[in-house]
Amino acid sequence: MKIKKILNNNAALVTDDKGNEIVYTGCGLCFQKKCGDQIDESKIEKTFVMEKPSEQFKQLVSEMPYEQIQVADEIIKYAEEILNKRLCNNIYITLTDHLGYAIERAQNGTYLRNKLLWEIKNFYKAEYSIGCHALSIIKEKLGATLPDDEAGFFALHIVNAELDGNMHHTLETSEVISDIVSIVKFTFNSELDENTLSYERFVTHLKYFLQRAEKREYYPEDNVEMFCMMKNKFPDAYKCATRIKSYMESKFPDNEITDEEMLYLVVHISRITDRKTIEKQKAIG
């Protein structure tokens, strides 16, 4: 494989037989090389295969310290291993770029406050845990100590890469879930125990609930009798679900919240507000 463009001593752009542009990185990969030279495959440590690598990505690789690129790659690999899924390729730009600026801020003694940290900790626990692990990797490999706010930012980039690569959508989802949880707290005039299995299931349900609403995909109306029974058995949970329905219809006027969706909301709300269920889960935990 011949080098098409040298990005820096540690990165090269190569075109494969199918015309795809590939970015290879490795310590000293392009040292004393020039365009047209054969690449030393034994020095390749990371391969970025994209249909068309963006100029932003090429610039990022060419300008960023190689150690930071390695750390970003380690964080992304760890996230994919823990979540057991491939993340959107765009995370190699967003997370790596964020890491660079986070290190720069730390060196200057300035820190960025994460206004959504509470929501991230509670609604994206797995991703936040990965973000915390990322801070440990950064401290070990780069010698920089970053605040918890940055763990939240890394988590957001991971959530974003899990969904559709749209950060605005990720932030909006977090805010909507926060609003719905607030509606439950207001209706029952009570705080919710965020460490219970019921709460975790409720938040997970809300994430998929919002995805269905956005795609206009609805559960079939198969449980009319069950819905009638549940709303009579749990009138407070049903009252809360109707408030959530009103909120959702005002937020997304083109979407319909069906009785089937309402049924699942009532079930989850009844569980997270039922004291016996909460105490039982605490005892098990």
CATH number at residue 10: 2.30.24.10
Q: In sequence order, what are the residues at sequence separation of 6 or more whose Cβ sits closer than 8 angstroms to the Cβ of residue 184?
A: 192, 240, 244, 269, 272, 273
Please report whether residue 246 resides in a domain.
Answer: yes
Q: Residue 114's domain spans which residues? A: 66-165
Token look-up 């490795």 returns 26
Clarify whether residues 217 and 249 are in a common domain. Answer: yes
Phi, psi of 251 (to 5 degrees): -75, -40
pLDDT band at 84 (very low <50, low <70, confident <90, very high): very high
Task: Write down the mean pLDDT value for the chain.
Answer: 85
Which pLDDT score, from 0 to 100, does residue 279 have?
A: 56
**173 occurs within a structural domain:** no
Q: Is 78 in the same domain as 157?
A: yes
Residue 155 lies in a domain: yes
Q: What's the domain count of the chain? A: 3
pLDDT score of 103 = 94
CATH number of residue 220's parent domain:
1.10.1790.10
Cα distance between residue 256 and residue 108, in whole Å: 50
**Mind listing the pLDDT tens digit for each residue in 139-179?**
999 999 999 999 999 999 999 888 765 677 788 888 999 99
User: Do 237 and 206 fall into the same domain?
Assistant: yes
Q: What pLDDT band is residue 255 in, cutting at 50, 70 and 90?
A: confident
Asked whether residue 71 falls in the same domain as residue 152, the answer is yes
pLDDT-derived band at 245 (thresholds 50, 70, 90) equals very high
Q: Is residue 60 part of a domain?
A: no
- DSSP three-state, residue 170: helix
Q: Please, what sign has the CA dihedral across residues 151, 153, 156, 157?
A: negative
The pLDDT-based confidence of 102 (bands split at 50, 70, 90) is very high
pLDDT tens for each residue of 123-140 = 899 999 999 999 999 999
pLDDT in tens, 187-205: 999 999 888 888 988 998 8
Q: Which of 165-174, 175-184, 267-276 has the highest mean pLDDT?
A: 175-184
Any domain includes 20: yes
Residue 92 falls within a domain, yes or no? yes
Please report which confidence band the pLDDT of residue 28 belongs to, taking 50, 70 and 90 as the band edges. confident
45 and 54 Cβ atoms separated by less than 8 Å: no
- Three-state DSSP at 5 gives strand
Please tell me whether residues 47 and 70 are part of one structural domain: no
